[in-house]
Structure 1
């Protein structure tokens, strides 16, 4: 009897100890990050949950995005704390505030006096501390001024439109002869070829394949837990970055040698511009700065465009009434073309009003980049809550784009929702907003439109696994990479 009583008491004490330990662990982040704030700031923090020590809310984030229901992550905050549009959390190793409504999103993205880039250290190690996501406001403004015109300016787009169209026509013809392909993989190769030409004047297949392969590994580590151990995605991504830097270093050195030996370049490209630029004191960019800017641009310049081309094609094939309307618009553009004209013009691109709605709707539904990171430079009041100085601010685009109060039936692909509709500031953010908005947005839309123009007129897509699940990290895509056949139409329009 006494033995049984002793065992029971020991079990009870162990249970109490475990419960106490669990309570302490659950509240550890509160002690680490909230207790240091004065009482007024603690009281005015947004509602939310800082999660477990070190891990924070990352397990629930990764679980949601790997479950097939990524929106369950933010739904859990909304269900527990109400529709406040702003929540505290512990994400990517830092105390954070997540904003999910248009006005707070707009404020965070456009107020450079109060907010600065706040990307996780793990992401900076992958993308580069000298890339746009890591440099100061003044450095960013200078480099953006240098790089934006060659990518987005009217003259640049006019220059590249022929090259893009030539490669799209060639790729579609090749795919139609290949049989079964991974559609998104081939699209990414296409968009990578285009961005390589713009930035490096390179069309070397071996170089492109090597770079694109490493970028795929790099991107898988960007949204992963920052565990630098063999076998983990982040560890593989760091190794991929090392290989990418080595490749770019050799390209930079080769180009510098050409400058010294006065070897004439075939054409001026972005690499030439980065090598030549000087600040007001005559300082030029060093190799690390050039490589990080190149690494960032080449990644952003192909990844998003290729995926959006794929999803727009899938959505149109699944909705024949939208496909037919988009196709009729492209046929009308070709019909009005002067007989002597060869290929698309920027004027024709700007006449693609319905196709532009198709692209915008695809960007909204897919939300290729679900979040960007900022950091509060001082205490900031938003929606009646305080964001403490030094805390990260996560602008959660996905929740904004799928808000039923802004976009009724938000997960339905419906280009007609854009008829006569102008989104309010902060409610449509496919390329971000403010001074750090994606500098290649016009080029991306041009690429997507040219691809859809030729696809709609001359091809159709047959998916082999149309019901296959979607993987959401690092970006939304079918788990089979859209295994499909590209079929040429028997009676092509052009």
Structure 2
């Protein structure tokens, strides 16, 4: 009797498993799915996606599947169905239809770090996005840069470079991460690392790499380190917020002051929302800018011709001043034509974000295929910005190429800050920071590469064994 029941149960399990496996590999769709594979049950093709390669090129996972399936293919990552797109025309259409065809979406690991920001609530209330974009532009946008941030940036960068020149070795990514973290946090909530007891900015090196790992919170894992660093930053923001609320007479003139004033009129500005929103802003700034800046320094180091023209441009700015000791002006920043080309080329090659994620709000038709409602859409910047059909010799560091690239090309093929309504509000801040840093670096210092610097995509941009340099102040005469 037991053998009969075991046979029945075994048969049912086999039928159930077979059906479940079939449904996994062939998801429901009101049309024809893009080509591709869903990989193994639950984990999908996540392991292949995470494989690193020592190249600045598009991640192997994406590149191999583009060659096999074309610019749009399906897969499954961390248990979610995903359509990956490297089609510039389709991506441009999608970015123009934010809120209609797609909405902002975060990876599970990222969502846990920003647990105070409910993605569904954020997407449901468009006034939240409008409010945040306006207040971010008010703090880090063009007018703020022109009126007050430019001299602050120059002072902070000069101070940091002076400190670095006293070191026998500097790991560039770690150093620039801490510099940008400290400056951004200072503008947001007047963070002072020297008074906080610990410089948490130095702990955030390679944060994005840990964020892209499996969200397993076990000591020793990259994701666990992410959570620990996030906790430290959130605690500092929380303590600062509580202190300001206890002492309303404290006014720093920073981002937090404005937010606290707006809490009286904006119902969505809860304490939890404010804390995680400010952490998100810090995360968005220091990780992407530091990785791009580190790559720029490495590429400039490896290309003496670029360094020579860059130095000549910035020395000319100093020579044209009536007062050689005066600070950078907005007019001087706008005149840095070759510097802007270097920055654009560094942004193009860096492609720091492994993918820009959106969730479909309805079935989307593209090239005869259907992307089902509720699926994740991943736009891969590196696949677009390193496309040989758009950029000749795409892996070469060639700032001069930007002299001839039209706005029509960049609109769809250059997306380091995203595109459409959800493009990064801190784009100008990022470019100004890099320009000011390069200005101070090439006019006042020389540097030598010591070790490391191998570029790795895993799939985030990283540097094998770090990138270590020795910085030395230039001396007149």
Under a length normalisation based on structure 2, what TM-score does the superposition of the two structures give? 0.89
Q: Deviation at 1:216? A: 4.0
- 1:484 aligns to what? 469
Stretches of structure 2 that go unaligned for 5 or more consecutive residues are: 1-13
Matches within 5 A, 1:66-215: 71-81=59-69, 83=70, 85-112=71-98, 113-130=100-117, 135-136=122-123, 137-205=126-194, 207=196, 209-215=198-204
Q: Deviation at 1:439? A: 1.1
Q: 1:228 aligns with which of 208, 211, 217?
A: 217
Contact 1:50–1:56, Cα closer than 8 Å, also in 2: yes
- Which structure is richer in relative contact order (CA contacts within 8 A, separation 6 or more)? 2
In 1, the alpha carbon distance for the partners of 2:68 and 2:230 equals 40
Q: Deviation at 1:337? A: 1.5
In 1, the alpha carbon distance for the partners of 2:234 and 2:344 equals 34
Give 3-state SS (helix, strand or coil) of 1:469's partner.
strand
Stretches of structure 1 that go unaligned for 5 or more consecutive residues are: 1-20
Q: Closer, same or farther in 2 for the Cα pair 1:90/1:320, shift >3 Å?
A: same
Give 3-state SS (helix, strand or coil) of 2:247's partner.
helix
Q: Deviation at 1:241? A: 2.8
Q: Closer, same or farther in 2 for the Cα pair 1:334/1:240, shift >3 Å?
A: closer
Q: 1:251 aligns with which of 234, 240, 250?
A: 240
Contact 2:301–2:449, Cα closer than 8 Å, also in 1: no
In 2, the alpha carbon distance for the partners of 1:132 and 1:347 equals 40
Q: Closer, same or farther in 2 for the Cα pair 1:101/1:304, shift >3 Å?
A: same
- 2:298 aligns to what? 314
- 1:10 aligns to what? none
Give 3-state SS (helix, strand or coil) of 1:162's partner.
helix
Q: Closer, same or farther in 2 for the Cα pair 1:237/1:302, shift >3 Å?
A: closer
Q: 1:457 aligns with which of 434, 438, 443?
A: 443
In 2, the alpha carbon distance for the partners of 1:133 and 1:408 equals 41
In 1, the alpha carbon distance for the partners of 2:205 and 2:237 equals 16
Q: Deviations over 1:121-162 (max 9, x none)?
A: 232111335178972233212222222221113134430111
In 2, the alpha carbon distance for the partners of 1:257 and 1:270 equals 18
CA RMSD of aligned residues (A): 2.6
Under a length normalisation based on structure 1, what TM-score does the superposition of the two structures give? 0.86
Matched residues, number: 458
Q: Closer, same or farther in 2 for the Cα pair 1:339/1:245, shift >3 Å?
A: closer
In 2, the alpha carbon distance for the partners of 1:421 and 1:66 equals 28
Q: Deviations over 1:409-466 (max 9, x none)?
A: 1111000111121224220001111111111111111111011011111222211125
Q: Deviation at 1:490? A: 3.9
Contact 1:215–1:240, Cα closer than 8 Å, also in 2: yes
Q: 2:44 aligns with which of 56, 59, 63?
A: 56
In 1, the alpha carbon distance for the partners of 2:183 and 2:202 equals 16
In 2, the alpha carbon distance for the partners of 1:282 and 1:357 equals 41
